[in-house]
Copies of this chain bind each other. A is one copy, B any other.
Amino acid sequence: MRRKVTLKQIAKELDVSISTVSKSLRDSSEISEDTRQKVQAFAKLYNYKPNNIALSLKNRKSKTICIIIPEIIHHFFATVISGVEHIANENGYNVIVCLSDESFDKEVINLETLANGSIDGFIMSLSKETQQKRDFHHIAEVINQGMPVVMFDRITNDILCDKVIIDDNLAAFNATQYLIDKGFKKIGLISTVDYVSVGKLRTEGYTKALKTNDIKFDENLIIKIEDTDNFESQIETLISNNDLDAIFAVNEIFAVTAIKVATRLGKNVPNDISIIGFTDGIISKYSSPSITTVSQNGVKMGEKAAKMLIEKLEIEEEDYEEQYKTEVIETELVERESTI
């Protein structure tokens, strides 16, 4: 177990100065062909690699970005990470992944511990708790310190920064419209509580589609799920109490559970009831019947977010102008077997 070799050690061995070694390795013209080769050969022999930490300190940048997500188990977030990682790697950046576990406090801690030189910028999606509290001072703080932040998916308008989202409202509108076009009138909605920004937006899209098509809005056809424990019974109540033509669910889990419950209640999907989900993950793909769903393309979101962040990081200090963009990623309705 030999320790990593440093410039100093090489310098000592070859009886030259540290500067000479450094310059030789960087092919500086200041150094004679002779010593340059000697140094390079020696460095190669001992497998010299510059110490990243020292470089970070010197350059005042770490070439590392951090992505904070509420949950890694969600397929969507995993795909976003995948996209971020891809672009980051292409540009020589590393990715630190932090999980907030939907907790405000963990989000704060993550930001605080990493905003001290460890990383160059953040990509983040808000935790449920943060959205509920509407307390964003921790984010404002890191931005104020000059650290770029890109928010995605679960964002807030209270913070000025780059954002990448899908048009949740429009996507939900289109999904609902798709059902309406099939001739359905009694369309149920399985959504989340309103403080989850995307849940609220999707609910609004659903409502708008109904209104646009002059379909009576019925409060009873909507359930908003808070905790993830006993939502199956809520869905069961929804389906058995109303003779629904179709259901729009704001995520995969809700959609697949709706299918399961409907089937158990003796309804055939899609013949008796059509179901549309949101997020095109493995559940939608492998469910039977497979699920018609709104595809968000998490990979593309991650890639876009990473690109925006890195772009901010690489512009020179003097050229910097405070200007924020919000990118909207296209969604797509993937038609499968759960709709007629």
Contacts and interface: CB of A to CB of B under 8 A. Distances in A.
Interface of A: 1-4, 49-54, 56-57, 62, 64, 72-73, 75, 78-79, 81-82, 85, 89, 94-99, 106, 112-118, 144-146, 253, 256-257, 259-260, 263, 282-283, 286-288
27 contacts: A1-B145, A2-B146, A3-B146, A4-B145, A49-B115, A49-B116, A51-B57, A52-B114, A53-B56, A53-B57, A53-B117, A54-B57, A54-B117, A72-B72, A72-B81, A72-B85, A73-B82, A75-B75, A78-B78, A81-B97, A96-B96, A253-B286, A260-B286, A260-B288, A283-B283, A286-B287, A287-B288
B53 A62 contact: yes
B118 A53 contact: yes
A303 to B, nearest CB: 14
Given A73-B75, A283-B282, A82 B99 contact: yes
Contacts of A257: 286
Count identical subunits in the complex. 2
A337 B260 CA distance: 12
Nearest to A73: B78
A117 B116 CA distance: 17
Given A81-B97, A85-B97, 18 more contacts: A1-B146, A2-B146, A4-B117, A4-B145, A49-B115, A51-B117, A52-B116, A52-B118, A53-B117, A64-B118, A72-B81, A78-B78, A89-B106, A94-B113, A95-B96, A95-B97, A260-B286, A287-B287
